[in-house]
Amino acid sequence: MKVLVLLCGRDWHIVRVLRDAFGADLRAQDDFCEAVSADQARELAALHDRECGHPVVRALNVRGIEHDLPAYIFPYHEHFLVVVAEAASLGGFQTFSRELESWLAWADDNLPMPYQDGYYRIQVMNNRLLNAERALSKKTAQLERTLAEVRDANNIVALLERDRLTGLYTMAGLLHHAHVAAATAAVDEPFDVIMFAVQGLRQVKEAFGHKTGEELQRRVALFATGIDMQGEVLFARADADAFYAVASTRRAFAEALRDSLATYLADYPLAVRLRPVVAVCAGNAPGTELEEACNRARMAFDEARAGVDSVTYYSPDLVEQSLRRHELLDEVPEALAEGQFKLYLQSKVDMATGQVIGAEALIRWMHPTLGFVSPGDFIPLLEREGRIYDVDRYIWEQACKIQRARANAGKPLLPISVNVARGDFYEKDLAESLLDMVRRNGIGPEAIRLEVLERAYAQDSGELAQRLAQLREAGFVIEMDDFGTGESTLAMLSEMPIDVLKLDRGFVMNGLDDPRRRIVIESVVQMAHRLDILVIVEGVETREQERYLLEMGCRYAQGFLYAKPQPADYFLNL
Amino acid sequence: MDYGEEFQALADAAWAYERKRDEKLFEKISVRVQQIIRRDTRYNVDFLYTAFQLDDARIMCKYVVWLYELMVGVYKDLLLPKERALDSTLGSLDCIRRAAADVVAPEKQQRIFDLLERGEQSLRAYVAAGGAAAETAPAPRDAEVKEYLARLFARDTRGAMALVRSFVDRGIPIDDVYVDILAEAMRRVGELWHTAAITVDTEHYCTSITQTAMSQLYPDIFDAPRRGKTVLVACPGAELHEMPARMVADLFENHGWDSIYLGAAVPQEYLLASVRENNPDLVALSVTMPTFLIDCEQMVRAVKQEFPQVKVAVGGRAFTSTNEIWRKWPVDLFSENGRDLLSAADALVS
C-alpha cells in the first residue's frame, strides 16, 4: 500500500515518522511530499474528491495537532491519499500515526489490496516475464538461423526440383524456375510450351525391359537439351513418359525438336520403331499461367498421339473435339449394354467367279442423340485408352451369333473376319475368350478369321508372333490387314504366322496403270503365294481395277464394286 | 536463512537484548517498527553466521560498515546526529555478543567474539578515517551512466529505454553498455539506496526499467553466430538479485555461446539436473548477497563432484566482501564482471 502524503506547513520529518510507524506499508515518497497551506490542503482534497469521484472514506480527527484540523484519507488508485493539516509536533503525529495504523488495519480487512509484500513480488513477476521474453527471443533467433540454413541449402532444394532419372526439372521445379526466370530476366515475349514423347517407348519397355526404357528416356532428355544451344529453353519431365519444354515463341523450338528427334530416333539402336510425338501450345502471352499452358500442350499432345506425325498445335477446336471424344468414350459401357453398336458386314469375293467367299465385320455406333458416329471418332481413342477390348469382344460375339444362325439354317461356311486390335493381345484371356465364344455358339474357329493391322506387327513383334501362333494353332485363320501402309518388311511375311494378306486400298486407288506399281503388286502377290499366303485386295471399285488385278494374279477382293458394308441381316441369306 | 538451532537461538537472544537496550522506547514504537528491528537483528546474525561458516572475517567487517552507513541515513531522516548511528550499530553488535555468551557452545564462542571484535574495529577505523573510502578511478563511461540515471530518477521510462538503445546505435559495444553503463548505474542506485538518498521503491523501479531496457537488445544479442559452446547461469540459495546473472548469460550469448539461464534462487538439485540435461561447458554462479556464499560453495562442490569435466565460474558483488574466498573452492574461474569472465571463459573452454 502506498500512502500519498500532502503536508501542510514545514514539518518534513513527519514523513520519516510515518514510514517508521508503518514500515513497508507506508512509502512516503519524497517527490510526493509537498508543503502546502491548510487551505491548499483542503482544496486539493476537494479536487481529488471531485476529479476521482472517490468519496471520503473516513475522516480522521487527529488529536494533538495544532488547530485540531482533520486528516482526510481517500482511496486513490492503488494508493491512499492522506491529507494532514498543519503538522507541528512529533508527539501529535505519533498519536496520529496510531490512528492511521488502526485505520489501515481496518482497510486491510475491508479494502482490496493490490500489493501485499510489496516490490519484491512485483520484481519476481517482472523477472519471470523478462526470462520468458529472453527465452522467446532466443528461440526466435534460433528459428531465424534455421530458416537461413534452409535458404542456404540451395543445392538440396535444387536436387528436389530435379528429376532423378533425366536430371531435368520436375514439374514443381519447372514452375518455380519459370517464375524466377519471368521475375528476374524480364522475359516479356510470347512463349511456347511443348510437350513431347517417344512413341514406341512402351514397346521398348515390354520387349527389352524397364531399364532399357529408362535409358531411352535419359538419352532423349540429353538429346533434347542438346538442341537448345543457348540454354534458353526450360526442360522438365512431365510424367513417366513425356517431357515439357518452355521456349520463346521466336525460337520455333517445337519444329526443330520434332525434326531432330525424328532423325535421332530413326537411328536409335533398338529393333522397335520409334517416333517423336510433339505437341505445342504456342504463342502464350507473357504472364500466361504456365500450368495452364502446360495443360493445353497436354491436350494437343493427346491428339498428337492419336496418330498425327507432324507437330500438333493446340487450338480451342482441338479441345472441343477432344472433349467430345472423351465424353463419347465415357458412354461406351452404356452403349454396349444398350446395343447401340451395330455389326455391319462387307463381302469379300472371288473376282474370277463373283462368288462371295466371306465378309469383314465392321462396327457402327448408332448414338441415340448424335446419330451415326464414325468409327474414326472413337476406335483410335478406345485403342489409346486401352478400352478397345470390350468393344471388340462385343463385335466378335455378334459375328459368332450370325455364324450360329447360318449354321442352324444349314447354310455353307462363309468366314467372317473380325478386327483384333493391338491392345487386345495384351489381354491374357484373348485366346481362351475367342475359343469360348465359338464353342458357346456351336461353331468352329474356322468360321471366324482374325484381322490384325500391319502396323501392329511392327510393334513388339516377337510377343505378337507368339500369341498369333497360339491362336492359329487353335484353328483361327490370321489375316494381315492394310498391308503396305506400315513399315513391315517382306522378311516379316516369312516369319509371322499369317494366312491371308489384305493389300491396302492405297495400291488400287493410286492407279494400277502405273507399270512400276503393278510390278510391285505382282511381286508381292507372287511371293505371298509362294509362301502359301492368300492375298485379298481391298478398295476395288471399278471393273478396270478388277481386270488389272486378275491380270496380275490376284483372285480375291473387297470393295464397293461388289458390296458396301451392310447391316448383318443380309449375310444370313447368302 | 536457515542455520540450525544454535544460531536461531542466538538471533532470538540478541533480539531480547535489543529490546532491553531502551525499554521505554520499545513501548512507544509501533509493533511494525518492532518487527523491523527484529528482522534487522536477525539479518546481523545472518552475516555473522556466514562469516563464521566461511571463516572469513572480511564478510563481517564489510557488513558492519555497511550497516553503519545505512543507519546514518535513517538517523539523518530522523534529524538525529550521526553519533547516534554509531552507538546504534555498536549496540547491536554488543547485543549479539552478550547473546552469544548465553546460548552458543563455548568452543565456538571465541571465534564469534573475534568476528564481532574485527567488525567493531573496522567500523571504528572507518569512522576515524572520516567515513566513505577514497574515491576509486572514474567510471569509463561516467557521462553515459549519469545521463541514464538522470532519466531513471526523472521517472522517464521511455526516455531511459530509448537511451539504452541509442547507446548501441551510436556504436558502443553491447558488452560495454552492459558492464560499463548499466551495471555501473545499478551499482550506484544500490549505493544511493544504501545511503538513503533514494527510497527502496525507486531502487526497484530502476532495476525493472534497466532489465526491460536490456531486453530490447535481445534481437542483437541472440543474432550472434553460434560457436557450439554452452554456459549455464544461475543464482544460488535464495539469491533474488538476478540481473547480474542475466547480464552474464546475455554477454555470453552475444559472443555466440548458448546460454541456459536458470535465474534467481535456484535449488541445488535443480541446478544439477539441468547440468545433467544440458551438458554445458561452463557453469557460472552469481552471488550478490554475501549470505548466499555458503549455498554457492555447496553448489560449486556438488557440480564438481558429479561433473568433474565441467568448468565452474563464480562471480558477483558478494565476493568483494570476502578475502578471495573463491580461492578455497574448486572453481576454474573468478571474475569481477561479466565481460572479464567471458574472455577468461573463451580462453579456458576451447
pLDDT tens digits along A220-251: 998 998 887 676 788 999 887 899 999 888 77
How many angstroms separate the CA atoms of B3 and B7, rounded? 6
pLDDT (tens digit, 0 to 9) for every residue of chain B, 350 residues total?
677 788 899 999 999 999 898 887 777 666 666 777 888 899 999 999 999 999 999 999 999 999 999 888 877 766 677 888 999 999 999 999 999 999 999 999 999 999 999 999 999 999 998 876 655 677 889 999 999 999 999 989 999 999 999 999 999 999 999 999 999 999 999 989 888 788 777 888 899 899 999 999 998 899 888 888 999 999 998 888 999 999 999 999 999 999 999 988 899 999 999 999 999 999 999 999 999 999 999 999 999 999 999 999 999 999 999 999 999 999 999 998 899 999 999 999 87
The answer to whether the Cβ–Cβ distance between B30 and A22 falls below 8 Å is yes
Helix (H) or strand (E) holding A511: none
**The pLDDT value given to residue A451:** 93
Q: Bridge partners of A73? A: A58, A82
Distance from CA of B109 to the nearest CA of A (A): 34
Helix (H) or strand (E) holding A564: none
Cβ atoms of B88 and B117 within 8 Å: the answer is: no
Distance from CA of B219 to the nearest CA of A (A): 6
SS3 of B277, please? helix
How many angstroms separate the CA atoms of A346 and A557, rounded? 11
Reported for A105-113, long-range contacts at CB under 8 A and 24+ positions apart, including other chains, are: A107/A1, A107/A80, A111/A75, A113/A1
Residues of B in contact with A120 (CB under 8 A): 240
Residues of A in contact with B278 (CB under 8 A): none
**The pLDDT value given to residue B144:** 96
The three three-digit cell numbers of residue A274, written as one number? 520409334
**The pLDDT value given to residue B185:** 96
How many angstroms separate the CA atoms of A488 and B229, rounded? 76
Distance from CA of B14 to the nearest CA of A (A): 21
Which of B224, B301, B324, B265 shows the shortest CA–CA distance to B283?
A: B301
Residues of A labelled catalytic: 538
Residue type, position A218, single letter: R
Helix (H) or strand (E) holding B323: none
**The pLDDT value given to residue A180:** 67
The whole-model pTM stands at: 0.49
For A523, other C-beta atoms within 10 Å of its C-beta total: 12
Residues of A in contact with B231 (CB under 8 A): none
Reported for A15-20, long-range contacts at CB under 8 A and 24+ positions apart, including other chains, are: A15/B77, A16/B77, A16/B78, A17/A90, A17/A93, A17/A94, A17/A97, A18/A93, A18/A97, A18/A100, A19/B77, A20/B29, A20/B30, A20/B33, A20/B36, A20/B78
In a mutational test of the B interface, the residue from A96, A123, A126, A144 whose CB has the highest number of chain B CBs within 10 Å is: A123
Name the residue of chain A whose CA is nearest to B29's CA.
A21
Q: Bridge partners of A7? A: A35
Cβ atoms of A127 and B211 within 8 Å: the answer is: yes
Tell me, yes or no, if A78 comes closer than 8 A to chain B by beta carbon.
Answer: no
What sign does the CA torsion over B32, B33, B34, B39 have?
positive
Distance from CA of A123 to the nearest CA of B (A): 7
What sign does the CA torsion over B127, B131, B136, B140 have?
positive
A286 pLDDT more than 50: yes
Taking the alpha carbons at both ends of chain B, their separation in whole angstroms is: 39
Residue type, position B335, single letter: S
**The pLDDT value given to residue A537:** 93
Distance from CA of A129 to the nearest CA of B (A): 10
For B143, other C-beta atoms within 10 Å of its C-beta total: 9
Higher pLDDT, A467 or B63: B63
Q: What are phi and psi for residue A123, nearest 5 degrees?
A: -60, -40
Helix (H) or strand (E) holding A40: helix A38-52
The answer to whether the Cβ–Cβ distance between A126 and B211 falls below 8 Å is yes
- Residue A66, sorted as left (phi over 0), alpha (psi -120 to 50) or beta, turns out to be beta
Which of B327, B242, B348 shows the shortest CA–CA distance to B285?
A: B242
**The pLDDT value given to residue A85:** 44
The answer to whether the Cβ–Cβ distance between B261 and A23 falls below 8 Å is no
Tell me, yes or no, if A377 comes closer than 8 A to chain B by beta carbon.
Answer: no
Tell me, yes or no, if A117 comes closer than 8 A to chain B by beta carbon.
Answer: no
Tell me, yes or no, if A16 comes closer than 8 A to chain B by beta carbon.
Answer: yes
> What's B182's DSSP letter?
I
Judged on CB neighbours under 10 Å (0-12, 13-18, 19+), A234 is: buried
In a mutational test of the B interface, the residue from A104, A127, A144, A149 whose CB has the highest number of chain B CBs within 10 Å is: A127
Name the residue of chain A whose CA is nearest to B75's CA.
A16
Q: Using CB atoms, which residue from A101, A119, A124 is nearest to B30? A: A101
Per-residue confidence band for A75, with pLDDT thresholds at 50, 70 and 90: very low
Judged on CB neighbours under 10 Å (0-12, 13-18, 19+), A497 is: middle
How many angstroms separate the CA atoms of A78 and B43, rounded? 31
Query: Which residue in the block uniquely carries the three cell numbers 500519498?
Result: A4
Which of A15, A18, A34 shows the shortest CA–CA distance to A100?
A: A18
Tens digits of residue pLDDT in A388-409? 999 999 999 999 999 999 999 9
Residues of A in contact with B240 (CB under 8 A): 120, 123-124
Which of A198, A218, A319, A320 shows the shortest CA–CA distance to A266?
A: A198
Tens digits of residue pLDDT in A186-206? 456 788 999 999 988 888 888
The three three-digit cell numbers of residue A499, written as one number? 494366312
Query: B209-220 b/e with 16+ CB inside 10 Å = b?
Result: bbbbbbbebbee
CA A265, distance to chain mean position in Å, is 28
Q: Bridge partners of A418? A: A450
**Range of lowest pLDDT (A320-329, A348-357, B166-175):** A320-329
Tell me, yes or no, if A30 comes closer than 8 A to chain B by beta carbon.
Answer: yes
Higher pLDDT, A545 or A116: A545
The answer to whether the Cβ–Cβ distance between A123 and B240 falls below 8 Å is yes
Taking the alpha carbons at both ends of chain A, their separation in whole angstroms is: 121
**The pLDDT value given to residue A520:** 82
Distance from CA of A12 to the nearest CA of B (A): 9
Neighbouring C-alpha atoms within 13 Å toward the C-beta of A402: 30
**The pLDDT value given to residue B46:** 94
**Interface predicted TM-score (ipTM):** 0.80
How many angstroms separate the CA atoms of B115 and B111, rounded? 6
Which of A457, A454, A500 shows the shortest CA–CA distance to A358?
A: A500
Q: Which of A60-74, A307-321, A424-438 has the highest mean pLDDT?
A: A424-438
A28 pLDDT more than 60: no
Chain B residues bordering chain A (beta-carbon distance below 8 Å): 28-30, 32-33, 35-36, 77-79, 199-202, 204, 207-208, 211-212, 215, 218-219, 221-223, 226, 240, 242, 246, 249-250, 253, 259, 261, 263-264
Q: How far is CA B51 from CA A205, B40, B335, in A?
A: 91, 17, 21
Residues of B in contact with A108 (CB under 8 A): none
Beta strands in A255-302 (DSSP E): 275-284
How many angstroms separate the CA atoms of A275 and A263, rounded? 9
Residues of B in contact with A27 (CB under 8 A): 199-201
Residues of A in contact with B211 (CB under 8 A): 126-127, 130
Judged on CB neighbours under 10 Å (0-12, 13-18, 19+), B43 is: middle
Cβ neighbors of A407 (< 8 A, separation 6 or more) are: A442, A443, A447
Q: Using CB atoms, which residue from B36, B202, B242 is nearest to A23? A: B36
Residues of B in contact with A123 (CB under 8 A): 204, 207-208, 240
A464 pLDDT more than 50: yes
**The pLDDT value given to residue A92:** 53
The three three-digit cell numbers of residue B323, written as one number? 578475502
Q: Bridge partners of A451? A: A419, A479
Tens digits of residue pLDDT in A480-513? 888 877 666 666 777 788 899 998 888 887 777 7
A280 pLDDT more than 90: yes
Helix (H) or strand (E) holding A207: helix A201-208
Distance from CA of A8 to the nearest CA of B (A): 18
How many angstroms separate the CA atoms of A37 and A10, rounded? 9
In a mutational test of the B interface, the residue from A20, A97, A142 whose CB has the highest number of chain B CBs within 10 Å is: A20
**The pLDDT value given to residue A125:** 78
Please provide the average confidence, as pLDDT, over all residues in chain A: 77
Q: How far is CA A300 from CA A194, A253, A310, A328, A380, in A?
A: 10, 16, 12, 18, 15
A546 pLDDT more than 80: yes
Q: How far is CA B345 from CA B272, B302, B317, in A?
A: 20, 20, 19
Q: Using CB atoms, which residue from A21, A27, A145 is nearest to B32? A: A21
How many angstroms separate the CA atoms of A153 and A169, rounded? 18
For A384, other C-beta atoms within 10 Å of its C-beta total: 15
Name the residue of chain B whose CA is nearest to A90's CA.
B78
Cβ atoms of B241 and B214 within 8 Å: the answer is: no
Beta strands in chain B (DSSP E): 229-234, 257-263, 282-286, 311-315, 333-335
Helix (H) or strand (E) holding A137: helix A119-152
Name the residue of chain B whose CA is nearest to A25's CA.
B32
SS3 of A160, please? helix
Residue type, position A237, single letter: R
Tell me, yes or no, if A120 comes closer than 8 A to chain B by beta carbon.
Answer: yes
